[in-house]
């Protein structure tokens, strides 16, 4: 068996500027039923006085049919294409033309040009363009693209970036369209689509009077489900003008929904391509949560037009420059459109559930990584979500006005160029006259800092001294661990949630932000009444783990009425985590949750909170958060099954404890089901789940009935409640759901998810049976994730089965998927690498499963990078 030598990682420190610029690119793409011929002609000019050749990248071994430099054909067979890189001698100004034949119909990696259903589409970020043409495929080479697509007339719609400048018919039942994008861009933002597509149209007038033609292209039959996406797009365009002063810059903006897509969506200039799941959504087919996600992703891709496209990344180490910033922008957009508090809480819950474990596991990396073997592996929660937290801290420290001044300077300095994270931070610092050199450790140091706050109160002088201590844990990334700059927003809470003013340095404030820059520091507040309770890290002002000396009673006070919605929610989370940790540490001890349940009952009847806020407070902390807390406990073993069991037990105890308050609310919700707000639907779902789990009278019938509702949120509320345990009602609801949605492939993904996540029934055999279902498609990433990723993430009893069968099951599938789609395989494998907190036996089983995948041989660079890091 061939043992592939480990690929040599690429280092951030090895960056070299391009020697040669590409001034204009002319692409001709001839599409046929079984292949595409790509002619790529471009003009070059030297940027320095070196005589270095031009490096062109292509897929490893990708055909180079012909290459012509300044009119002279070179002997193409002289170029060794095996390593995906060739060197071409060019003059001071040259014209290079390459011709390549590719086979999109056989492309299952969904990178480059590929077939999704009956349409051809592209995915070029980060390095997909090289699978289409030999080209200097690196983000700091920006050029103006003109693209001519020729195709059979059976693909009537031919799209690319920019404006349509010509179209017409050709012989042989063929036709063509030529698109010109006047904005310089790197090749990763190139896109084209060909197919027999329907579209919906709308328009938006920018603040300077440009009338922009808006189009969403979909497969026939789907146009009716695009309204929400289109409205979301218009709201995004307006918001970016109102808040950032940034307007759209072309006369047309297109979105295409495709069913086979590795990620969520892609911001190609003027031609966004979306996973259809994030476009086709209305109240019948999508839940309220889904609709908000669609709105957020449409906004995210649109916002990239400035933060990503107009100003792009110099190299892929800078990925967070566009992603962290754009996530921050889409988070703020959603906060402005809906509830700021609910959005913040959702985002923090996500960060803790997926980014914290990444930062403490084998694939830990700073938001700006130092090296990679496969850049596709760095589209991570760290680069995206933690990256957004870093931008948020900058905004917190500078204030909204200061942040906007920094943004304006950033755009002024770097528009039309490929920039770095350093450039961004410099613009923020320069615009505000501040020094961010220490703050920049957030870009280079991996790991989640632990901040400990202890109190010393003097009743005599009424002073409260807070001692802060920060520590960055060791991580697999082995980056430096110097003290970070950590903004900590805090306030004091009196009885009934009263705001206790802060007296500090002669100022009186409702709340303040203390910035911790040393390993240890302290803050003294005066005129502090004895019973005031501090609320720390309001709004989650920094992405850290917080340890405090707050008592349960004090956290109950915060839960009952902290004015900060995050602080209030987090107090509840902390109480739950503490209770769960002791339930796991002493499994046989009886549990008394009375105090906490009383607090939750009060929350449930609190008139100041809406349904969504209540639903969030009643949501138990995710499995991974509890695992981390248990791992910290001196006498508890981090056993995922035991934790899952105790978490479920706590849920049913909370359900029982809340019955007196919750049961009448459920009856009322049922009565006015058709007239509920989205907020109330959220609470309805949460309470119904508790009711079924803890066996309220009639709860299962209620849920079964609700699962038949026309509104998808309500239907899912019913189905999800029943899905927690085996039983005839669950079977009936699932069967009816499948009948109703058999023809809607996207909705069937929900059905797969319910089954693969069901703890009682979804054994590996059951999941294998699911993958035989007619609605399943092994080449569709959504479908693979709906069974395999959901199994690994949600089905703890089966995935973490003590005999290791769940691990081996996942491993077997990953090895197969890797043959077809390495990017997807390298993501689905991740749960197998999250073993750092577990017992040695369990670690050995999980590593054993990874070793199995590796030993099959011939695995992709993507997968091999993740596995080698995890086995070290």
Chain-centre distance for alpha carbon 139:
22
Q: How far is the CB of 298 from Zn ion (least distance, A)?
A: 12
- Residue 257, helix vs strand vs coil: strand
Q: Quick check: 266 binds ligand PHE (CB under 6 A)?
A: yes
Q: How far is the CB of 379 from ligand PHE (least distance, A)?
A: 5
Closest approach, Cβ 263 to ligand PHE, in A, equals 4
Considering only residues 310 to 329 of the shown chain, the ones binding ligand PHE according to CB under 6 A are 323
Residue 304 beta carbon to Zn ion: minimum distance, rounded to whole angstroms: 6
570 or 862: whose CB is closer to ligand PHE? 862
Binding pattern to Zn ion, positions 310-329, x when CB under 5 A?
Answer: -------------x--x---
Interacting residues of 16 by C-beta distance below 8 A, sequence separation 6+: none
Buried (b) or exposed (e) across 675-711, using 16+ Cβ within 10 A? ebebbbbbbbbbbbbbbbbbebeebbebbbebbeeeb
137 near ligand PHE, rule: CB under 6 A: no
Residue 347's binding partner among Zn ion, ligand PHE, none (Cβ under 5 to 8 angstroms by kind) is: none
| Residue 189 or 829 with smaller CB distance to Zn ion | 189
| Cβ nearer to Zn ion, comparing 150 with 330 | 330
CA dist list (Å): 624 to 241, 358, 539, 647, 786: 39, 11, 21, 11, 20
Residue nearest to ligand PHE (CB): 263
Q: Smallest distance from the beta carbon of 262 to ligand PHE, in angstroms?
A: 6
Q: Give the whole-angstrom CA distance, residue 115 versus residue 851.
A: 33
Which CB atom, from 236 or from 326, has the smaller least distance to Zn ion?
Answer: 326
When binding is defined by CB under 6 A, the residue of 25, 200, 263, 699 that contacts ligand PHE is 263
Shortest reach from residue 443's CB to Zn ion, in Å: 18
| Segment interacting with ligand PHE, rule: CB under 6 A, options 190-198, 263-271, 712-720, 777-785 | 263-271
Site for ligand PHE in 116-135 (CB under 6 A): 123, 125
The phi and psi torsions of 406 (rounded to 5 degrees) equal: -65, -40
Share of the chain residues as helix, strand and coil, in percent rounded to the nearest 5: 45, 20, 35
Task: Tell me 526's DSSP state.
Answer: B
By a kind-dependent CB cut-off of 5 to 8 A, residue 125 interacts, out of Zn ion, ligand PHE, none, with ligand PHE
Query: In angstroms, what is the minimal distance from the CB of 605 to ligand PHE?
Result: 41
Q: Which residues contact 712 (CB under 8 A, 6 or more apart)?
A: 283, 284, 285, 286, 287, 290, 747
Kindly write out the interface string for residues 204-243 of this chain, putting x where it contacts ligand PHE by CB under 6 A and - elsewhere. ----------------------------------------
**Out of 39, 67, 212, 265, the residue judged to bind ligand PHE by CB under 6 A:** 265
Interface with ligand PHE in residues 370-399 (CB under 6 A): 379
Q: Answer with the entry of ligand PHE, Zn ion, none that 123 interacts with (C-beta below 5 to 8 A by kind).
A: ligand PHE
Q: How many residues of this chain interact with Zn ion, rule: CB under 5 A?
A: 2
Question: Smallest distance, Å, CB 111 to ligand PHE?
Answer: 8
Residue 301 among the catalytic residues: yes
Distance CA 39, CA 41 (A): 6
Nearest to 587 by CA among 510, 519, 645, 651: 645
267 part of the interface to ligand PHE, by CB under 6 A: yes
Q: What Å distances lie between residue 175 and 233, 435, 445, CA to CA? A: 31, 58, 53
106/88 Cα distance (integer angstroms): 29
Q: At what angle do helices 565-585 and 340-350 cross, to 10 degrees?
A: 30
How many whole angstroms separate alpha carbon 755 and alpha carbon 592?
33
Q: From the list Zn ion, ligand PHE, none, which binds 379 (C-beta under 5 to 8 Å, kind-based)? A: ligand PHE
Near ligand PHE by CB under 6 A: residue from 26, 130, 269, 300: 300
Q: Report whether the peptide linkage leading into residue 785 is cis, meaning its omega lies within 30 degrees of zero.
A: no
Binding mask 461-480 for ligand PHE (x = CB under 6 A): --------------------
**What is the rounded CA–CA span in Å between residue 52 and residue 50?**
5
CA-based nearest residue to 246, from 205, 335, 306, 313: 306
Least CB distance from residue 322 to ligand PHE, whole Å? 8
Which residue out of 267, 295, 301, 613 is catalytically annotated?
301
Q: Which does 833 bind (CB under 5 to 8 A by kind): ligand PHE, Zn ion, none?
A: none
* CA distances, 538 to each of 344, 454, 513, 542 (Å): 11, 17, 9, 9
Report d(CA 625, CA 356) in Å as an integer: 8
Nearer to ligand PHE, 123 or 236 (CB): 123
What is the contact mask toward ligand PHE in residues 569 to 588, using x (rule: CB under 6 A)?
--------------------
| Interacting residues of 49 by C-beta distance below 8 A, sequence separation 6+ | none
Q: How many CB atoms lie within 10 A of CB 120?
A: 24
Per CB under 6 A, the segment of 33-41, 177-185, 260-268, 724-732 that binds ligand PHE is 260-268
Q: Which of 86/321 has CB closer to ligand PHE? A: 321
How many CA atoms lie within 13 Å of 428's alpha carbon, on the beta-carbon side? Answer: 25
- Identify which of residues 363 and 744 has a Cβ nearer to ligand PHE in the complex: 363
818 binds, among ligand PHE, Zn ion, none (CB under 5 to 8 A by kind): none
Contact positions vs ligand PHE (CB under 6 A): 123, 125, 262-263, 265-267, 300-301, 323, 379
Catalytic residues: 301
Footprint on this chain of Zn ion (rule: CB under 5 A): 323, 326
């Amino acid at each position: 068996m061939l043992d592939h030598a480990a690929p040599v990682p690429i280092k951030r420190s090895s960056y070299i500027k391009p020697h040669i610029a590409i001034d204009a690119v002319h692409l001709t793409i001839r599409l046929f039923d079984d292949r595409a011929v790509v002619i790529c002609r471009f003009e070059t000019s030297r940027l320095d006085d070196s005589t270095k050749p031009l490096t062109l990248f292509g897929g490893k071994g990708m055909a180079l049919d012909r290459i012509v430099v300044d009119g002279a054909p070179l002997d193409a067979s002289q170029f060794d294409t095996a390593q995906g890189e060739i060197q071409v001698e060019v003059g001071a100004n040259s014209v290079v033309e390459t011709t390549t034949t590719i086979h999109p119909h056989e492309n299952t990696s969904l990178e480059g040009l590929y077939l999704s259903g009956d349409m051809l589409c592209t995915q070029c970020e980060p390095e997909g363009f090289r699978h289409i043409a030999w080209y200097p495929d690196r983000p700091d080479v920006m050029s103006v693209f003109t693209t001519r697509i020729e195709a059979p007339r059976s693909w009537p719609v031919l799209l690319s970036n920019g404006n349509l400048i010509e179209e017409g018919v050709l012989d042989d039942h063929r036709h063509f369209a030529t698109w010109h994008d006047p904005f310089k861009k790197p090749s990763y933002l190139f896109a084209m689509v060909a197919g027999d597509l329907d579209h919906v149209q709308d328009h938006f007038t920018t603040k300077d009077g440009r009338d922009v033609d808006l189009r969403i292209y979909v497969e026939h039959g789907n146009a009716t489900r695009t309204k929400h996406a289109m409205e979301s797009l218009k709201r995004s365009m307006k918001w970016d003008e109102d808040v950032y002063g940034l307007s759209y810059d072309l006369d047309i903006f297109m979105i295409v929904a495709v069913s086979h897509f590795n990620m969520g969506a892609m911001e190609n200039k003027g031609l966004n391509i979306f996973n259809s799941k994030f476009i086709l959504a209305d109240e019948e087919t999508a839940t309220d949560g889904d609709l908000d996600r669609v709105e957020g992703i449409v906004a995210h891709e649109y916002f990239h037009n400035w933060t990503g496209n107009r100003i792009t990344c110099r190299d892929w180490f800078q990925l967070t420059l566009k992603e962290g910033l754009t996530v921050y922008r889409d988070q703020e957009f959603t906060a402005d459109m809906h509830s700021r508090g609910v959005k913040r809480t959702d985002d923090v819950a996500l960060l803790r559930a997926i980014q914290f474990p990444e930062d403490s596991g084998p694939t830990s990396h700073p938001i700006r990584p130092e090296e990679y073997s496969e850049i596709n592996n760095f589209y991570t929660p760290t680069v995206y979500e933690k990256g957004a937290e870093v931008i948020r801290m900058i905004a917190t420290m500078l204030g909204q006005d200061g942040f906007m001044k920094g943004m304006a300077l950033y755009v002024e300095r770097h528009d039309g160029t490929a920039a770095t994270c350093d450039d961004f931070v410099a613009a923020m610092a320069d615009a505000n006259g501040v020094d961010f050199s220490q703050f920049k450790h957030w870009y280079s140091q991996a790991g989640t800092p632990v901040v400990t706050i202890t109190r010393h109160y003097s009743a005599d002088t009424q002073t409260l001294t807070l001692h802060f201590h920060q520590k960055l844990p060791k991580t697999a990334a082995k980056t430096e661990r110097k003290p970070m700059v950590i903004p900590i927003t805090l306030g004091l809470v009196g009885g009934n949630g009263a705001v206790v003013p802060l007296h500090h340095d002669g100022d009186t404030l409702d709340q303040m932000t203390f910035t911790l820059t040393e390993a240890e520091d302290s803050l003294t507040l005066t005129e502090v009444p004895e019973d005031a309770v501090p609320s720390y890290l309001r709004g989650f002002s920094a992405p850290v783990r917080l340890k405090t000396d707050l008592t349960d009673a004090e956290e109950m006070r915060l839960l009952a009425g902290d004015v900060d919605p995050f602080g209030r929610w987090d107090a509840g989370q902390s109480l739950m985590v503490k209770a769960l940790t002791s339930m796991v540490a002493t499994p046989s001890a009886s549990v008394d949750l009375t105090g906490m349940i009383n607090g939750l009952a009060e929350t449930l009847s609190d008139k100041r909170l809406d349904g969504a806020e209540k639903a969030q407070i009643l949501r138990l902390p995710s499995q991974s958060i509890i695992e981390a807390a248990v791992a910290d406990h001196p006498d508890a073993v981090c056993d995922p099954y035991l934790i899952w069991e105790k978490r479920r037990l706590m849920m049913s105890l909370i359900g029982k404890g809340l019955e007196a308050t919750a049961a009448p609310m459920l009856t009322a919700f049922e009565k006015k089901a058709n007239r509920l707000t989205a907020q109330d639907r959220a609470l309805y779902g949460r309470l119904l789940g508790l009711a079924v789990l803890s066996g309220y009278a009639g709860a299962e019938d209620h849920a079964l009935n609700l699962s038949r509702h026309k509104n998808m949120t309500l239907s899912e509320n019913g189905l999800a409640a029943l899905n927690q345990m085996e039983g005839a009602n669950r079977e009936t609801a699932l069967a009816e759901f499948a009948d109703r949605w058999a023809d809607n492939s996207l909705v069937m993904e929900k059905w797969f998810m319910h089954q693969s996540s069901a703890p009682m029934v979804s054994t590996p055999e059951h999941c294998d049976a699911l993958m035989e279902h007619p609605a399943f498609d092994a080449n569709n990433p959504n479908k693979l994730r709906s069974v395999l990723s959901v199994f690994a993430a949600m089905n703890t009893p089966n995935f973490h089965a003590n005999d290791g069968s769940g691990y081996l099951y996942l491993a077997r599938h990953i090895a197969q998927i890797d043959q077809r789609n390495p990017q997807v395989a390298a993501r689905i494998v991740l749960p197998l690498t999250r073993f750092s907190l577990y017992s040695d036996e369990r670690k050995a089983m999980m590593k054993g499963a990874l070793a199995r995948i590796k030993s099959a041989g011939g695995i992709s660079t993507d997968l091999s990078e993740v596995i080698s890091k995890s086995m070290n």
